[in-house]
Amino acid sequence: MMEKIRMLDLENVTMQFGGVVAVDSLSMHVDNGEIVALIGPNGAGKTTAFNVITGVYTPTNGRVSFKDKVIAESYPNGKMKRMYAGAHNGEYKKLITTSPDRIAYLGVARTFQNIRLFKNMTVLENVLVAHHMRMKNNLLTSTLHLTGAEEKRVCEESIALLNLLGLGDVINENAASLPYGKQRYLEIARALATDPELLLLDEPAAGMNPQETIELSRFILKIREQFGLTILLIEHHMNLVMDISDRIYVLDFGKQIAEGTPAEIQKNPVVIAAYLGEDEEE
Amino acid sequence: MTIIRKKKADAATWISIGIVALIYVAVFVAEQLLPPTHMLFTVLKKGATYALVAVSMNLLNGFTGLFSLGQAGFMLVGAYTYAILTIPVAQRPAVYQYFDGGLVQFTMPVIPALICAGLIAAIFAFLIGLPVLRLKSDYLAIATLGFAEIIRAVFQWKNIGALTNGSNLLRAFPTFEDFNIRAADGTVKLYLSTLVPFLIAGVCIGLIVLLLHSSHGRAFMAIRDDEIAAEAMGINLSRHKQMAFCTSSFFAGIGGAMLAMYTASVQAKSFTSAMTYEILLIVVIGGIGSVTGSCISSFLFVACSEWWLRFLDQKQMIGDFEVPLLRNGFRLVVFSVIIMIVVLFFRQGIMGTRELPDLFRKHPKKAKAAKGGKA
């Protein structure tokens, strides 16, 4: 058995925009090697939670740690002091923020719900960009191509990665010209190229048909093994979620309403009510 | 660019290198054969200068997606640095006649002075970039434009006149003409006054192309395509924007120094925002995101404004008939119409985002050249 490491730990994370509490006191954790799913109806605050984890937003209140290192901690300050509508006010005293690029460097990679590829670059270039932050060159050596060996290694690794993801035949195509499904895989390839330990997938199966979804499930399991990844994913395809997740967190209106294994979640009446709506006549 | 690309692109790349080499040979030969006062050389010298500045602007606007309008300001810094460092010591009392011969009392060779011109411009860019690069699109453009105006005023301030000669001309520094190799009796043995600016601009543009094809260049383009995704891929936005801004200004500074050599005198008030717009126009006509396009269109632009369209500014008689409308300033009207036509119907410019080698490839990057660009 692998030693258990707490890869990601969210503690009472609240994200409030003006008067809207998008994420309300969310506490969750992901251990190494796990596949954890974050589900919930539209607008439940799942993507907001992702944006907090990856440093796009600073939480209004609460703490986020990655491998026991605090990457974000905040308490309601400034205008939020008066407006704050969440719980656990006053428990956190420090203001810590980490920029998204720094978090990526620490080993958290992500994909986006609405695909965000570098559209005017080729497939290979998209993956090469992801290698940039770990390369040891500077502006001068890179301009004069003095780091040829590194450049060559990175290029070979990228091609190998693209081959693995079934994109080997389109490496010189423009990223925007790929069919939708391949664009999703390219986003994953790009995220993998940053050499992450924790991979955040935001609706990876969006727009895929059942057959493609099954292939994606297998693929996610495969990359977990091969790259030793821990995966946190947001998904609406319940088949995929129930298939591959070790644990599931359910959000509704920013609040966590359930947590458990797929079997537990399927039977949970609160979850069923949130998804199907409560029967008001009874 | 990379191993794979090279296999396919070899022939096209070599053809392109051949074409560029041919152009250099043609310039050299033309210079020996034609009289040195020929209009062609004016166009070539100024064109080479503008090409460098346009490519440096394209690096920022077309490849990094930072809409900056400070180019004239950085050219000014470069031009002044070059002039101040290269005026011969013997000439300084005459040039700085109102400022007791000026502050700087040494003279540098041309090439180190050019590099200094770039470096000083880059230092200015670094300092301005600290606050300004937090801004996006239009706001960045307004802030950089403001900088260019301020710097123009500051360089004319008489309290720093010992350095900048106030609002007076700086002159007597080496110009393009000094590159001609002369015999002892003063007659020119070998004309190089057009080839050398071509070489300087060529080396600089070559460096920019190398940069664009490097890991950092890819990071710049990633920022242009999608800032959020670029940041999520570990690219430090502020650091890379700062890098692009400084690099662009470095080459704009060298371009400014070349402009000083071309005009043989430097005066702050000539580096107006109109100059930035000229460069922007060149970039747009050539194609935002194409180095080749910027080069071609800068020569076209200079040729039109200095040579081919000059007749529009003078009265023209066809027999006894005086052509209407033609008078001083009409050239600018025609220019404006051309810009409107380009913006309305040829939004991609001459080259779109294609480069010279792409023209010789059987399958040019279709999606890149597709009309509408990012839309």
Residue B375 lies in a domain: no
Contact of B171 with B264, CB cutoff 8 Å: yes
The amino acid that residue B108 corresponds to is M
Report CA B125 to chain centroid distance, whole Å.
Answer: 16
Half-sphere exposure of B141 (CA within 13 A, CB side): 10
Chain-chain contact of B222 with A99 (C-beta, under 8 angstroms): no
Query: According to the model, what pLDDT value does residue B182 have?
Result: 84
What number is the ipTM of this complex? 0.89
By CA distance, what is B373's nearest residue in A?
Answer: A120
Summarised one tens digit per residue, pLDDT across range B103-143 is 888 889 999 999 999 999 999 999 999 999 888 778 999 99
Q: Spell out which residues of chain A touch residue B367, defining contact as CB-CB under 8 Å.
A: 173-174, 176-177
CB contact under 8 A, A133 and B231: no
Query: Residue holding tokens 């106030």?
Result: B166
Question: What per-residue confidence (pLDDT) applies to A279?
Answer: 59
Q: Which residue has the higher pLDDT, B5 or A215?
A: A215
Question: What b-and-e string marks burial along B219-234, b requiring 16 or more CB atoms within 10 Å of the CB?
Answer: bbbbbbbbbebbbbbb
- Which residues of B fall within a CB distance of 8 Å from A104? 231-234
Give CA–CA dist B163/A265, Å, rounded. Answer: 76
In this complex, do B215 and A125 lie within 8 Å of one another by their Cβ atoms?
no
Domain A1-107+199-282 in CATH 3.90.1170.50: no
Which of A172, A190, A194 best tests the B interface by mutation, with the highest count of B CBs <10 A? Answer: A172
**Three-state DSSP state, A247:** strand
Place of tokens 């029967």: A279
**Chain B CA closest to residue A126:** B222
Q: Report the pLDDT value the prediction gives residue B4, as an integer from 0 to 100.
A: 41
Model confidence at B315: pLDDT above 80:
no
Handedness of CA B203, B205, B206, B212 (dihedral sign): positive
Name chain B contacts of A56, Cβ cutoff 8 Å: 228, 232
- B65-77: average pLDDT: 93
pLDDT on residue A280: 55
List residues in chain B touching A: CB distance below 8 A: 1-5, 8, 207, 210-211, 214-216, 218-219, 221-222, 224-226, 228-237, 243, 247, 289, 353, 365-368, 374
Count Cβ–Cβ pairs < 8 Å, chain A vs chain B.
130
B366: nearest CA in chain A?
A174
Lowest mean pLDDT across B55-59, B215-219, B223-227, B348-352: B348-352
**Dihedral sign (CA B256, B258, B263, B267):** positive
pLDDT of residue B304: 86
Q: Which of A53, A129, A170 to substitute to test the interface with B, most B CBs within 10 Å?
A: A129
Residue B121 belongs to domain spanning: 3-369
pLDDT at residue B369 tops 70: no
Q: In one letter, which amino acid is A15?
A: M
Could you give the residue ranges of the DSSP H alpha helices within A54-111?
A: 80-83, 100-106
What mean pLDDT do residues B294-313 have? Answer: 86
Nearest to B271, CA basis, from B97, B105, B173, B148 = B148
The answer to whether residue B365 scores a pLDDT higher than 60 is: no
Tell me, what's the pLDDT at B370?
36
Q: Percent helix, strand, coil in chain A (nearest 5)?
A: 40, 25, 35
Residue B243: its chain A contacts at CB < 8 A?
139
Please, what is the average pLDDT of chain B? 86
Neighbours of A125 (CB within 10 A): 22
Shortest CA distance from B354: residue in chain A: A120
* CA neighbor of B196 nearest in space, from B180, B220, B207, B213: B180
Is residue A111 within 8 Å of A201, Cβ to Cβ? yes
Residue A143 to chain B, least CA–CA distance (Å): 4
Asked if domains A1-107+199-282 and A114-195 share a fold, the reply is: yes
Supply the pLDDT for residue B373.
31
Q: What is the pLDDT of residue B160?
A: 87
B172-181 burial, b if ≥16 CB within 10 A, otherwise e? bbbbbbebbe
Whether B368 has a pLDDT exceeding 50, the answer reads no
Q: Which residue has the higher pLDDT, B195 or B185?
A: B195
The pLDDT value given to residue B6? 44
Cβ of A128 within 8 Å of Cβ of B232? The answer is no
- At residue B363, the pLDDT reads 57
Kind plus residue range of the DSSP H or E element containing A37? strand A35-39
Q: Which of B292, B300, B287, B295 is nearest to B347 (CA)?
A: B287
**B362 pLDDT band (50/70/90 cuts)?**
low
Name A177's Cβ contacts closer than 8 Å, sequence gap at least 6: B366, B367
Task: Show me where the domains of chain A are located.
Answer: 1-107+199-282, 114-195
Q: Which of B255, B337, B294, B342 is nearest to B74 (CA)?
A: B255
Strands (DSSP E) along A42-88, which ranges?
61-66, 69-74
Name chain A contacts of B235, Cβ cutoff 8 Å: 101, 129, 132-133
CA dihedral A19, A23, A27, A31 (to 10 degrees): -150
Q: How many residues does chain A have?
A: 282
- Please tell me whether residue A13 adopts helix, strand or coil conformation: strand
Residue B332: other Cβ atoms inside 10 A = 13
Residue A58, helix vs strand vs coil = coil
Q: pLDDT tier at B366 (50, 70, 90 boundaries)?
A: very low
Place of tokens 């990876």: A204
Amino acid symbol at B11: A
Residue B176 has pLDDT above 70, yes or no: yes
Fold annotation for A114-195: Rossmann fold (3.40.50)
Residues A274 and A43 sit within 8 Å (Cβ to Cβ): no
pLDDT tops 90 at residue B307? no
Cβ distance of B229 and A159 shorter than 8 Å:
no
Q: Residue B217 is part of a domain; what is its CATH number?
A: 1.10.3470
Q: What percent of chain B has pLDDT over 90?
A: 52
Q: What is the pLDDT of residue B9?
A: 53
Q: Please report the pLDDT score of residue A107 as a whole number.
A: 94
pLDDT of residue A12: 92
Cα–Cα distances in Å, from B297 out to A189, B19, B55, B248?
39, 17, 11, 19
Q: What is the mean pLDDT of chain A?
A: 89
Q: Which residues contact B187 (CB under 8 A, 6 or more apart)?
A: none
pLDDT of residue B2: 40
Residue-level pLDDT, tens digit, chain A, 282 residues: 567 889 999 999 999 998 889 999 999 999 999 999 999 888 888 999 999 999 999 999 999 999 989 999 999 888 888 888 888 888 888 899 999 999 999 999 999 999 999 999 999 999 999 999 998 888 888 888 888 888 889 999 999 999 998 898 998 989 999 998 899 999 999 999 999 999 999 999 988 888 999 999 999 999 999 999 999 999 988 889 998 999 999 999 888 999 999 999 988 888 888 877 765 554
Q: In this predicted model, which residue has the larger pLDDT, B364 or B315?
A: B315
User: In this complex, do A176 and B233 lie within 8 Å of one another by their Cβ atoms?
Assistant: no
CA-CA distance, B250 to B78, in Å (whole number)?
Answer: 8
Asked if residue B374 is part of any domain, the answer here is no
**Of B1, B211, B234, Cβ closest to residue A133:** B234
Q: Do B207 and A143 touch (CB under 8 A)?
A: yes
Domain count for chain B, please give it. Answer: 1
